[in-house]
Structure 1
Amino acid sequence: MPHKNEIWLPYNTRKVDIYNKYAEECEERSQKFCCEESFRNMWKYFYPHVSIKTCSLFTKCTICVRLGRNLAKTRDPVKRREIKLKRQEHDARQMAERLAYYQRREAARKEPEKYLSLIVDGMDQAKTYLPHFVGDKSKDLTTADQMKVHVSGVISHGHGLRTTYVDFFEYPHDSNLTLNLLLKLLGKLRKPLPPILYIQADNCYRENKNKFMLAFLDMLVHMKIFREIRCSAVWPTNYVIKRPTPLNN
């Protein structure tokens, strides 16, 4: 976790599943592997900071929740194997998207004159309401008694710019919010801007996956502010806008 010296594995992960995966990979490579008891002892001794939480601090995607529920409902070994395979494929696709984002981020850090990589996100609303209380809250306190505060952040990888914006829900949280955040950050960056822009955003149709967002990005390319824009969201969304290149005679 970025705010704690801990590593949390996904909610509902089981150590036996991790061991089985480790044993399978060793068998595929024709390598020796330890027994499950030794595996657990090494985990406890060498990786005490790696833990599995019994509850999730973050919301999960619909597919993860559905597969988890289906797995908990059935005891049929064939169906359980099919569900586990689907979950592995889903996790692999999500990890591939994360790795692609890391590659784009690293490209912007190594060649800031060529790439601009931005990530836009907002905090969970319930965590930013004021006043903020540590620990248990009284049942007499409701969200209606608190000031609604929303915090959004934008990071420009490779250009050393991190910005935070606060609003009090004075305007709708739709594509207008996202576009204003992007405009404010682009205005702060040094000129000229790199020719290729990467944007990583939430997989939310209200704020990012809509015609207004696409029209704005298309306008940036049409006005030759950027030659190419790649906007990526949490799987499966990924769309690209490029400026047409004249054909050579």
Structure 2
Amino acid sequence: MMQATSEQHDEYAAAISSQIKPHKGPSKPRMFKRSIKILPSKAEVRYLPPGHMRDYWLQMNVLRDGQPPISFAQFWRVWSSEFTHLKFRQESQHAQCNECIRHKMLIKEFSSHLLARREQVRLYTEHLKAQYVDRRCYWASRGLSRMKNGAHICVIIDSMDQGKTSIPRSDLTRAKDLSTLQKPKCHLTAVIVHGWFIMMCLSDADLPKNSSVMIEIMCHVLSRLQQQSCCLAQHHLHIQCDNTPREMKNNPFMKWMAAMTGQGVLRECSLQQLRSGHSHEDIDQVFGGLATFLASKGRQAQTPDDLMAVIQNFLQDYKRPYEAGRVVLKLDGARDWCLGDRMLKCCCLIVYACGH
């Protein structure tokens, strides 16, 4: 090709360029939905549990005792025009509530029995009201803790899915030869002390995840509160946790709470759990953001220290205006908290060590 010459005009490139549409700028917001005018809403987007608009229409008609029912067309028209900030979440992979699934299946099966279907909708609505009342108890204590009025401290504690914290993370682990190897999975426990700080504790895979570890973490939380000039003896400690019996919903943790109250470290202490299947709260939202951050920024984390660095970077930019403190710790071990007098003595020594 010594005598090859370049073409001055490429007809194929010109034809492709002519088919590309020019950029017209940002799209305008939608004003109509099937001839229904959408009113502008400045409210924050709120996400509802996975479901359908028809479920809420049935519940609303059940609550209208003695009044004529509202047609679905009118309900859809008002929803589409004035409640555009309400969105339905996608189906989740987590286990759902047993009662919710049972009521939904019965409502579907009773499609030709109006009275039985109406009764099942009423029972399902009462169940949703009951779990909402449980959440309001937690929200009330959370609001009191954020006010810092000197009487209440609300703490929520939970552990992240171990599949998100497996190590080592590298491009080499994607190879076919290494795909069958079992990776060690670190344990990550997060504590949100509302109005004070967020603390995350990372431990190795061989450290037991039991009540002794949770008691150790809570003792460290109380010590940090004392360092921030918080008089624990004048506060009521509200602890919100998951309903897993092996971690906090057991006798060792209850005896620790009794020891803290009996020795005068805390004025009062209470332990609360939401219903099974309805236990997801704001701490699970933190875990969701951290999982996304680990998937993008933690691809080369090969040791627990590398994971701690990624978690620290995540917490620095995480927006929680009420909790200004950010703490990331490595939990190397935990005491074997006994159920007798040794446990009471250890509780007093650890908590009072910071003050004296």
Say yes or no: TM over 0.5. yes
Q: 2:204 aligns with which of 157, 165, 168?
A: 168
CA distance in 2, matches of 1:96, 1:20: 21
Q: Secondary structure at the match of 2:214?
A: helix
Return the alpha-carbon distance in structure 1 between the equivalents of residues 77 and 135 of structure 2. 31
Choose from 140, 158, 163 the match for 1:103.
Answer: 140
Unmatched 5+ stretches in structure 1 = 237-249
The answer to whether residue 55 in structure 2 is matched with residue 17 in structure 1 is: yes
Q: Deviations over 1:24-70 (max 9, x none)?
A: 55x5697x997533543443455445332452243323333343444
- Please tell me the residue identity of whatever aligns with 1:109: R
CA distance 1:120–1:99, change in 2 (3 Å): same
Residues 158 and 189 in structure 2, CA contact (< 8 A), matched pair in contact too:
yes
Pick from 143, 149, 153 the counterpart of residue 116 of structure 1. Answer: 153
Name structure 2 gaps, 5 residues minimum. 1-43, 277-356
Q: Is the 8 A contact 2:62 2:122 kept in 1?
A: no
Q: 1:122 offset after TM fit, Å?
A: 1.4
1:226 counterpart letter in structure 2: L
1:94 alignment counterpart: 131
Match of 1:247 in 2: none
Larger Rg: 2
Q: Distance in 2 between matches of 1:132 and 1:63?
A: 40
Aligned to 1:185: 221
Change (3 A) 1:146 1:40: farther
With over 3 angstroms needed to count, the CA separation of the structure-2 counterparts of 1:53 and 1:115, relative to structure 1, is: closer
User: RMSD of the alignment, in Å?
Assistant: 3.4
Secondary structure at the counterpart of residue 221 of structure 2: helix
Pick closer, same or farther for the CA change 1:22–1:86 going to 2, 3 Å.
Answer: closer
More deviation in 211-220 or 109-118?
109-118
Indicate if the aligned counterparts of 2:185 and 2:204 stay in contact, CA closer than 8 A: yes
Partners of 1:132 and 1:29 in 2: CA distance = 62
User: What is the match of residue 225 of structure 1?
Assistant: 265
Q: Quote the residue 1:243 is aligned against.
A: none
The letter for the 1-side match of 2:261 is V
Q: State the alpha-carbon separation in 1 of the partners of residues 71 and 274 from structure 2.
A: 37
1:116/1:196 contact within 8 Å kept? yes
Q: Which residue, out of 74, 78, 85, partners 2:122? A: 85
In structure 2, C-alpha distance between the alignment counterparts of 1:112 and 1:165, rounded to whole Å: 28
Alignment match, 1:206:
246
1:7 corresponding residue in structure 2: 46
- Which amino acid counterpart does residue 187 of structure 1 have in structure 2? S
Amino acid at match of 2:47: W
Instruction: Tell me: CA distance 1:69–1:167, structure 2 relative to 1, closer, same or farther (3 Å).
Output: farther
- Checking the alignment, whether the CA contact within 8 Å between 2:154 and 2:193 is kept in structure 1 is yes
Q: State yes or no: 1:63 paired with 2:102.
A: no
Q: 2:262 & 2:106 partners in 1: Cα distance?
A: 47
Task: Provide the identity percentage.
Answer: 24
Greater strand share, structure number = 1
SS at match of 1:151: strand
Distance change in 2, residues 1:130/1:175 (3 Å): same
Could you tell me how far apart the structure 1 residues matched to 2:198 and 2:248 are?
Answer: 20
Mapped partners of 1:139, 1:235: distance in 2: 42
The reply on whether 1:152 has 2:192 as its aligned counterpart is no
1:195 touches 1:225 (CA, 8 Å); kept in 2?
no
Q: Distance in 2 between matches of 1:120 and 1:200?
A: 6
Q: Which has the higher helix share?
A: 2
1:129 and 2:166 aligned: yes
